[in-house]
Amino acid sequence: MAWRNYSVVLRLTGDHVTRSCVKGGRWPHSFQQRCGFRKAARKPEIKKVEEELVPPHTESSESTVNRRTSTPSLDHQPPPSPPRAFSRLLKPLVFTVGFTGCSFGTAAIWQYESLKSRVQSYFDEIRADWLEKLRPQKRGDVRKEINQWWSSLSEGQKTVAGIIAVNAVVFCCWRIPSLQRSMIKYFTANPASKTLCAPMLLSTFSHYSFFHMAANMYVLWSFSSSAISMLGREQFMAVYLSAGVISSFVSYVSKMATGRFGPSLGASGAIMAILAAVCTKMPEAKLAIIFLPMFTFTAGNALKAIIAMDTAGVVLGWKFFDHAAHLGGSIFGIWYILFGHELIWKNREPFVKIWHDLRTRGGPGGGGDRGGAV
């Protein structure tokens, strides 16, 4: 045990002391007397070595996530509480408004292009069916089985399948140790972090726990057909992405107001908006819990219970879920069905006409393929 302490001292004092004290590769018994060193205490030296080996780390969001997820901790000291400066929310607010506008603008253009290409797609499908009849049928063709399975899905399920795939890829990235710092920086939303805007969107596709991801994706899959048949694929994606950013911003505001800082991740805020939209549009629809299918309740009552629980969580400071993000997503979903659809989606035609004129290089008749409201 004493030799381990001597080795620590020698590493910290230089190589010239080591050469002067070692003869023939053996440590003499009178080491302390001949070299003039006093036996160092073990605990302070270990702390000093740890301070040299541990890299500097100041971002509070990373240390918090490390403690929650049992990943290797980089800093044993508790992070300092950041100042409650609401001026830091100005940039996220501008990003939220701008991203929401771009989402619905892109969705309007997407719908225009989809309607424009339907005629060509119709003839392509006729030609594909004709060629399929001429080709010899193959049994056990994996590609054909996949195509048949994909064709059997509804439009809503196809759209949600892409969202689930992105969430699965991000979930796998969390399991790569070399990506931990980047994942914490860009895929967790925290107002105390240096990176504020990008995580508001990227955290919507981020799940560290498999159960968390599976539960969210199951709820999204369950409501996908109803939501997309009600909104359409393009409008659904605009609402989903905008709700993810808006819920993150509401979470930022709540954390700044209460001082309870910490990283958040997950698609719950966006999913709550879709759930609230469906429940608002169809309040008499019957719902049930997957593990308790014998108990049914109306969608309107379920939405009231969810909002009440999340409101209590915000007021009482419950930390198991980000209740502020859930509440923000739910309120946005209700608002969009009651008012937003009329204010935003029904007034998209001037914007689509501008796009049509750009596509046709200022040709006349810009409105033939505007696309009606879904």
| SS3 at position 293 | strand
Look at residues 295, 348, 329 and name the one whose alpha carbon lies nearest to residue 108.
348
Vertex 289, ends 283 and 290: CA angle to 5°? Answer: 135
| SS3 at position 59 | coil
CB 107 within 8 A of CB 237: yes
Complete DSSP assignment for 185-198: HHSSB-TTSS--SH
* Strand ranges in the chain using DSSP code E only, listed in sequence order: 286-289, 292-298
Is beta strand 292-298 parallel, antiparallel or unpaired with respect to 286-289? antiparallel
Alpha-carbon distance of 234 to 248, in angstroms, equals 22
Which amino acid is it at 245? V
| SS3 at position 298 | strand
Active site residues: 268, 326
Alpha-carbon distance of 374 to 235, in angstroms, equals 8
Alpha-carbon distance of 100 to 243, in angstroms, equals 8
